[in-house]
Structure 1
Amino acid sequence: MSATTATKSTTTSFASALNTAMSDAMENDPSVVVFGEDVGTLGGVFRITDGLTKRFGENRCFDTPLAESGIAGTAVGMAINGMRPVIEMQFDAFAYPSLEQIFSHIAKMANRTRGNVRLPIVIRIPYGGGVGGVEHHCDSSEAYYAHTPGLKVFTPATVADAYLMLREAIDSEDPVVFFEPKKLYWSKEAEDLSELRAEYESGTSSRRIGAEANAQIVREGTDVSIISYGPSVSTALKAAEATAEDGISAEVLDLRSIVPFDDAALQATVEKTGRAVVVAEAQGFASVASEITARIQERCFHSLSSPVLRVTGFDIPYPAPKLEEHHLPDVDRILDTLDELQWED
């Protein structure tokens, strides 16, 4: 095998990792079904479900009417009757018509029935900007779901997590809202899907979402912690690389899971560095970034050498594509915020 062929065999796209995760789950469990708008014959607008209908048939991966509330409601009925639905909302803001079903039934059913009725539903939501989309196509709506008890909220930032976390979401007995950063769909990393499959199915993966393995340090540092998740992790890493040229060592924490939340990892990194900047695409007011900031202040106040700062989207409806680069957190905005920290001990 040539070096070129070997490299290609271990290079995997974010989209392919998601597709393979669903395919493997469907292969292992006949109760797993995938449905949503255009996910069948077309393979989804981003081609994430490409080939699933051909492989598993129209009863396992199929198209639905353009009715998000109906998609979610159908998933409820199927889950009550023993199925494990994986539904796609196509775009973040398209999910809003389904919120009544998600908030009133999917999130509450286990509590309502004292745990006797579980709804193992995965709600896949492509979200975030960076693709030149317009209004209703680039929202970051994670705070709505994180605020709703009864829902897990996952958002991968790497190819490995795209596979591992979606497999875990599908296997969960509780409903999971699975946020997929659209701008990462076409990114590629040196990952081997067969190795990821073996890691997950062995049951020994250290990357499982749980009390001790939610967040991960993706860059070690000593001077400041940059906390992020989903589409902003790659931006945070670029900012950390840039600030290293100025002699500032930035540690980057990828939260991976918003619910459940890894307070221990958050506390450990901030106590280590004494400074924190939270980066997220969503609007800053009443956001997940706000919650992270509050948790740092509550748990790490006496370790802080500077107030906790945030770099987020602005508190406006998502702007037109030509203005997107000004709205989203970028390296320059993060670096400017790092300059605002107090660096005198």
Structure 2
Amino acid sequence: MAELQTHSAHAVPMNLLEAVNRALARAMAEDDSVVLLGEDIGTNGGVFRATEGLKQQFGCRRVMDTPLAENLIAGLAVGMASQGLKPVAEIQFMGFIYAALEQILSHAARLRNRTRGRLSCPLVIRAPYGGGIHAPEHHSESTEALFAHIPGLRVVMPSSPARAHGLLLAAIQCPDPVIFLEPKRLYRLKRLPVVADGDPLPLDTCFTLRTGDDLTLISWGAAIHETLGAADQLAADGINAEVIDVACLNPLDRDTLVASVSRTGRAVIVHEAPGHGGMGAEIAATLANQALLHLRAPVERVTGYDCPMPYFQLEQHYLPDEERIVAAAKRTLAY
């Protein structure tokens, strides 16, 4: 478990997008085998400008524009990774990643197993995900459970600039493939301190953002923002909520989640993906299996609805908000 992060005198204010850019630049400066590829990432710096300036700094042999072909991008990344490079591939939006599933699921995730450990697949596939920016269809998906279901893939979702920076550094160093999902509505939300020369953050672990004894709020990605806001509202009513950022959905740090809920006795899981078949259900099953005798109330889930993300007129209604989270928390406390 990673505990609350402290601010450093050497920290620099960055938003999440700047933190991603800084992590990529640092990884490339420290390791010549790190290369970037994706649609418009070179000359234009990417659709969100996450790679802005990197082609000028490292050259076109290490920051490569590709055709509009996600299957090609993923296939190139697998080939590069098998031959000693550390590719970081960008998919413009998570809604475009499905064309790459054949390469990701059938090859990247299985390469270590298929070769009995002779080859690994140290690649990162970055994709902006989630709603909240009034995007059209295919631009607002949160289908992280699809990838978390696949053995051999790590699925990482940062929720702050510091965690985006530290987790991306760790993902690039990881010997196995990592799906790195960046919550685009947090890209430019606020600037927070980031230690640009600090150590990578640990993968495969949760981060405890706030301690409390009355209940546990569990979330990840962009929904952490509303979850922390709900914790503030609850605190104003004298309710101390522990807030856990799952951060890595596969492998899942079950020990931290079970330990927290065993102590508080109540849990609310928050995510913007649809509830049916979501990661919240997997976490709830874990708590039922390993913390049942400590639970004082049923586990609550606050999620998106079981329908495609609507257009911007209904987008905010679809996304979990502080009021829904607070209401779920109070139901567990009243049980």
TM value normalised by structure 1 = 0.92
CA distance in 1, matches of 2:115, 2:188: 41
User: Match of 1:188?
Assistant: 190
Contact persistence 1:126–1:182 (CA under 8 A): yes
User: Match of 2:259?
Assistant: 268
CA distance in 1, matches of 2:132, 2:157: 16
User: Match of 1:198?
Assistant: 198
Cα offset for 1:144? 0.8
User: Match of 1:4?
Assistant: none
User: Match of 1:68?
Assistant: 70
What pairs up with 1:166-185 in 2 under 5 angstroms?
Answer: 166-185=168-187
Cα offset for 1:264? 1.1
User: Match of 2:296?
Assistant: 305
Contact persistence 1:11–1:188 (CA under 8 A): no
CA distance in 2, matches of 1:225, 1:122: 31
CA distance in 2, matches of 1:115, 1:327: 43
Q: Point out which structure has higher relative CO (alpha carbons under 8 A, 6+ apart).
A: 2
User: Match of 1:154?
Assistant: 156
Cα offset for 1:228? 0.4
What pairs up with 1:92-111 in 2 under 5 angstroms?
Answer: 92-111=94-113
Contact persistence 2:92–2:128 (CA under 8 A): yes
User: Match of 1:209?
Assistant: 203
SS of the residue aligned with 1:117? Answer: coil
- The code of the aligned residue for 1:309 comes to E
**Cα–Cα, structure 1 residues 8 and 264, in superposed 2: closer, same or farther, change >3 Å?**
closer
Identity of aligned residues (%): 45
CA distance in 2, matches of 1:142, 1:134: 19
**Cα–Cα, structure 1 residues 250 and 198, in superposed 2: closer, same or farther, change >3 Å?**
closer
Contact persistence 2:77–2:87 (CA under 8 A): yes
User: Match of 1:33?
Assistant: 35
CA distance in 2, matches of 1:199, 1:153: 20
- The code of the aligned residue for 1:99 comes to L
Corresponding residue to 2:331 among 331, 340, 344: 340
- The code of the aligned residue for 1:333 comes to R
Deviations 1:2-27 (A, max 9, x none): xxxxx998311111110011111111
User: Match of 1:293?
Assistant: 284
Q: Can you give the 5+ residue segments of structure 1 that lack an aligned partner in the other structure?
A: 1-6, 201-206
SS of the residue aligned with 2:107? Answer: helix
SS of the residue aligned with 1:125? Answer: strand
CA distance in 2, matches of 1:138, 1:339: 30
SS of the residue aligned with 1:198? Answer: coil
CA distance in 1, matches of 2:168, 2:313: 33
Contact persistence 1:35–1:62 (CA under 8 A): yes
Cα offset for 1:189? 3.6
SS of the residue aligned with 1:86? Answer: strand
CA distance in 2, matches of 1:226, 1:9: 28
Cα offset for 1:148? 0.4
**Cα–Cα, structure 1 residues 226 and 69, in superposed 2: closer, same or farther, change >3 Å?**
same
User: Match of 2:272?
Assistant: 281
TM value normalised by structure 2 = 0.95
SS of the residue aligned with 1:316? Answer: coil
Contact persistence 2:22–2:196 (CA under 8 A): no
- The code of the aligned residue for 1:262 comes to D
Cα offset for 1:259? 1.2
CA distance in 2, matches of 1:165, 1:10: 17
Cα offset for 1:256? 1.1
CA distance in 1, matches of 2:250, 2:63: 28
Q: Can you give the 5+ residue segments of structure 2 that lack an aligned partner in the other structure?
A: 1-8
User: Match of 2:4?
Assistant: none
Contact persistence 1:40–1:63 (CA under 8 A): yes
More displaced stretch, 182-191 vs 129-138: 182-191
Alpha-carbon RMSD = 1.5
**Does residue 240 in structure 1 map to residue 235 in structure 2?**
no
Contact persistence 1:278–1:310 (CA under 8 A): yes
SS of the residue aligned with 1:73? Answer: helix
User: Match of 2:306?
Assistant: 315
**Cα–Cα, structure 1 residues 291 and 231, in superposed 2: closer, same or farther, change >3 Å?**
same
**Cα–Cα, structure 1 residues 324 and 8, in superposed 2: closer, same or farther, change >3 Å?**
farther
Contact persistence 2:158–2:221 (CA under 8 A): yes
Contact persistence 1:134–1:318 (CA under 8 A): no
Cα offset for 1:199? 3.0
User: Match of 1:129?
Assistant: 131
User: Match of 1:326?
Assistant: 317
More displaced stretch, 241-250 vs 110-119: 241-250
